[in-house]
A and B are shown apart, each in its own frame.
Chain A
Amino acid sequence: MEVEYIGEHLFWGQAGHLFTALSFAAALIAAVAYFKAFYSGEAEKQSWIKLGRTAFLTHTAAVLGIITVLFIILFNHYFEFQYVWQHSNTDMPMRYILSCFWEGQEGSFLLWTFWNAILSVILMRSARNWEASTMAIVSLVQVFLASMLLGIYFAGYKIGSDPFILLREHPDFMNLPFVKSATYLSNLDGRGLNPLLQNYWMTIHPPTLFLGFSATLFPFAYALSGVWTGQYREWIKPALPWTFFGISILGTGILMGGAWAYEALSFGGFWAWDPVENASLVPWLTLVAGGHIMLINKNKGDSLVTAFFMVFITFILILYSTFLTRSGVLGETSVHAFTDLGMSGQLLLYLMFFIWLPSVLAIGSKIKKRYWFVFSVAFTVFSFIFFNKLLIAAFLLAAVIISLVSLNKRTTQKGEEEHGTSREFWMFVGSLVLLVSAFQITFSTSTPVINKMLSGGLSSFFKSVHEFWNADIFAKMAEAKLAAPADPIGHYNSWQLPFAIIVALLMAVGQFLSYGKTSVPKFFSRMALSFFLAVVTTIIAGLLLEISSSLYLLMMFSASLAVFANTHYWLRILKGKLPKAGASIAHVGFGLVLVGALISAGKKEFISKNNTAVNLGEDFPREENILLSINDTVPMGQYLVAYRGDSTQGIHIYYNIDYYTKNSDGGLQKEFRLSPLVQLNPRMGNVAEPATKHYLGRDIFTHVTYAPLEKKKSSGDGWKESNDFKMRVGDTVFTSNSLVILEGINKDIDRTQYAQLQANDIAVGAVLRVMSIDGKSREITPVYVIRNNTVFSIDATDQKNGVQAGFFHIDPSAETFSIRLREKEDPDKEFIILKAIIFPGINILWIGSILMAIGTMLAVFARIRRKSKLVINES
């Protein structure tokens, strides 16, 4: 039976599908045309290039079309589309519509495709004789990305995930009864946006990060073209501005993620070595290393293979991080990985393809190239039939080794070694440190992947090794049930802190070393002032902040040395000129980031210590949360803090917290109010968002960790609902803050106490002793009354303890007496639980971030200017 659905906007879905198909097809045509252009002679070349350009511009237009349609359906709340329903709802503020757009995987792939397309158009117009080769590679990447949105099934495999699928056609919903109704749209609202993402940082962090991801494609395309065309060194010059652009934007994007975590998330800090954070940091590290190696090669002509390696590995790590965060493999280890959309096979295939691609281009001999190609195709077919993780890993490793060995053979190496005092030598060392640091983070983040590898056959091998050599490590390898380190921050810091110290030292001395050979006395005389200032800063900071760890002191010294030395270089040697100052300013910025991270994280202070709490013993020595009852004033660090009640605005409950300091005359002076909030969200659960007071030197971070959201049930008269108890003489019952004991039955009560009693009434009293927790006790006697044929109770109340008792039944055979107890509601019981942290010096970190972004962008402009000058000279 066909149902005529009412109110659907099927046109937009069709438009979306049309653009998706077009973007895929056009990218494919562009890739083929540019590939043909690369291999054809001068005569045909131009027409192929023309076709390539047209196709690529069509692709770009189609991508813009997809984006427009997705915005239109989101903006108009067309909930018949699953993506709209899943990621938005009607009562969401419109300013977060951008966040809805990239909350889902499809939208974030689209964002990535978009930036790639825009940057590729710039590449198309600036690449000149590199156009055919680089654009062929870039178009190929776009073919892969566009296919992520196709949402078609091919031979049982799902290819891509369609953002324009209808809710009633989505496999998860098509069998639900509500989509069978013709009018299902009439009262349908969406699920809404994850409250964590309803934050202004979430509107700017993802586009910046994805622009950074995109930027890494272009050095990759140039380097690969260099291999393809045999211009082994020439690619570096045009690729340099792209590389520094990537360093700038990706770095900014990562730090914005940190700022978002710090401002809007509850983990109290800007970096927690979460797998998703790590996945974006690692390619940045290798890109920075790559940029520096490229500079070495441009100036001195060596380290060429390393330059290729760094640029290739950066792009591959971007794909790997996409695989990690989107395949669901991180599952239990990360909070903000995407859920699996069943595309892990496709993602893995792309990853494998781009690891493999350099190898086939790098092989020199035509016959060997052909053999390797045929073998690779055969292997791919084989592994589709007999899926074996270990074989795939071995194949990929072979591809990497083949690439490096062939490149090493085909590029000429300089005979002599660099001098031990040369700039290129130490830049090379610094880049290797970055690579090693990236390796450490990647390996530790990859424990879920390692588990899969180990369980794919290696586990029995390690079991036998363990039998032979009884070490704990082999037992762990055999089990293949690795989880993240119990103390992830300690684990990462133990490696990364020493690396950061070395990198900062090299950053400090780098520019004072010359290419070729450095005059040692001159070097020391130039470094002396910075060295002195850094020592003084370290001593002052060490004393003021009471830093006792020698590693922290070393970090402080090397980071401040980097700041002083690079400032010195910029002011004295470059005479404060801006155009060439990129490197100096970026290095100053990175030094400040390290100083700020060290101070704010190393010296952060929990002022919300619960001094009254029961000591839980050595297992739980740490206390971070404090209970604030309404209007109580509690000392917290240098402040006195009071909770002043809550106020509700829409779905946000704000908890108003006043901070006071003591006057000279002992009175309280209000300093500021912070209102951290809890967002009520029936779908995601309630989410708490911190509030932070920013001062120049430090931040006071405040976060509600627990608030009783459900008010206790009340009967409306100031008393809670009653409870009945069958008691014998001597029995005790508990109320929430006292105990009630039935001491005896009094058949001869003092009738003058009970005005309601009449002369003929039969009256029996239950003598109850109410004992409060602090030990004070009172006696109350409710009375059981029989008047004619009716039975009732005269209640007795203990106002002090807030207990009211009634006596309404006697069971003579069982000798039990029914007592009804009610407790008074306590209006003063409103409370919240708070965590408050002081972060000193966090502004140093933000200033450093901004300088780093400015410095790297200056470097980009300097490279572009030099490049265009060169072109003018050539012509």
Chain B
Amino acid sequence: MKRTHIIGIVIIALAIGMILSTFADSSTYASFNEALAEPQKEFHVVGELNKEKELEYNPEENVNRFAFYLVDREGTEKKVVFNGTKPQDFERSEQVVITGKMKDEVFMADKILMKCPSKYNDGSSEMQEFNAGQDATTSL
């Protein structure tokens, strides 16, 4: 067998491995109910903050615990606990994407991506991302 053929086979094998790993590692957009069905898996949940309910944040007690209520796109409301500080201006968010797992009736989030409406009615909005964990900010 020629050396080029071996290289070609190795590259194809690598490419297949990469494609599979992308699918395997990728998280999924889901609703709270879907996340509840598979509590061991990480999900992305898109929803809106329930502004009627209280945002729990007591930095004097614990800096890294922020809790709020989110209504997902199916209309299910769940309490979300975020392992991090309260993002500035969180009250103003219009859409929130959280990443994490469901534990009992509470969603444990380790990442928040929020979209804030701009002050003017031009349909655009700004995104901001907040990470909890060390892993999420380690870089290379």
* Residue ranges of A at the interface with B (Cβ–Cβ < 8 Å): 86, 172-173, 176, 191, 194, 267-273, 332, 334-336, 339, 417, 420, 425, 429, 432, 436, 439-440, 443-444, 447, 472-473, 476-477, 479, 481-497, 597-598, 601-602, 604, 606, 610, 613-614, 616, 619-620, 622-627, 678, 682-688, 705-706, 709, 831, 833
Contacts and interface: CB of A to CB of B under 8 A. Distances in A.
A66 B97 CA distance: 39
Given A335-B129, A682-B119, A493 B140 contact: yes
Contacts of A269: 137-139
A712 to B, nearest CB: 13
B18 A443 contact: yes
Contacts of A604: 138
**Most chain A C-beta atoms within 10 Å of own C-beta, residue among B20, B21, B135, B139:** B139
Contacts of A484: 26-27, 44
B64 A495 contact: no
Nearest to B86: A706
Interface residues of B, number: 68
B54 interface: no
Contact of B128 (A270, A598, A685): A685
Contacts of A496: 140
**Most chain B C-beta atoms within 10 Å of own C-beta, residue among A447, A683, A705:** A705
Given A271-B139, A417-B2, A481 B11 contact: no
Contacts of B83: 616, 619-620, 622
B64 A620 contact: yes
Nearest to B139: A269
A479 B19 contact: no
B28 A481 contact: yes
Contacts of A485: 22, 25-27
Interface string B96-125: 010101010000101001001011111111
Contacts of B125: 339
Contacts of B62: 610, 613-614, 616
A194 B139 CA distance: 25
24 contacts: A271-B139, A272-B139, A273-B139, A443-B18, A447-B26, A473-B20, A485-B26, A494-B21, A601-B140, A610-B62, A613-B63, A614-B62, A616-B62, A616-B64, A620-B108, A623-B64, A624-B134, A625-B84, A625-B85, A627-B63, A678-B88, A684-B116, A685-B126, A831-B60
A756 to B, nearest CB: 38
Contacts of A620: 64, 83, 108, 110, 132
B59 A833 contact: yes
**Most chain B C-beta atoms within 10 Å of own C-beta, residue among A417, A479, A492, A622:** A622
B9 interface: no
Contact of B92 (A271, A619, A685): A685
B28 A270 contact: no
Given A272-B137, A616-B65, 18 more contacts: A191-B119, A339-B125, A473-B20, A477-B23, A479-B28, A482-B28, A482-B29, A483-B26, A483-B44, A601-B138, A613-B63, A613-B64, A627-B60, A678-B88, A688-B88, A705-B85, A706-B88, A831-B60
Contact of B25 (A487, A683, A685): A487
B31 to A, nearest CB: 10
A269 B139 CA distance: 6
Main secondary structure of the interface of A (DSSP, over half): mixed
A22 B140 CA distance: 46
B97 to A, nearest CB: 6
Contact of B22 (A172, A444, A684): A444
Contacts of B15: 436, 439
Contacts of B124: 339
A678 B87 CA distance: 12
B64 A624 contact: yes
B33 to A, nearest CB: 14
B59 A706 contact: yes
Interface string B61-92: 11111000000000000000001111011001
**Most chain A C-beta atoms within 10 Å of own C-beta, residue among B15, B97, B134:** B134
Interface string B5-45: 00100010011001111111111111000000000001110
Given A614-B62, A833-B59, A495 B21 contact: yes
A678 to B, nearest CB: 7
A476 B28 contact: yes
A553 B107 CA distance: 38
Given A489-B140, A685-B116, A420 B3 contact: yes
A626 B84 CA distance: 11
Contacts of B20: 473
Nearest to B57: A706
Contacts of A492: 140
B50 interface: no
Nearest to A271: B139
Contacts of A444: 18, 22, 25-26
A624 B134 CA distance: 7
B21 A491 contact: yes
Nearest to B29: A481
A490 B135 contact: yes
B49 interface: no
Contacts of B28: 476, 479, 481-483
A105 to B, nearest CB: 12
Given A486-B42, A627-B63, A622 B24 contact: no
B79 to A, nearest CB: 14
A614 B103 CA distance: 18
B58 to A, nearest CB: 10
A597 B86 CA distance: 30
| Interchain residue pairs A-B with the least CB separation, the first 5 | A269-B139, A486-B42, A685-B89, A620-B83, A483-B44
A597 B119 CA distance: 40
A139 B132 CA distance: 48
A548 to B, nearest CB: 16
A697 to B, nearest CB: 19
Nearest to B133: A622
B59 A614 contact: no
Contacts of B140: 271, 489, 492-493, 496-497, 597-598, 601-602
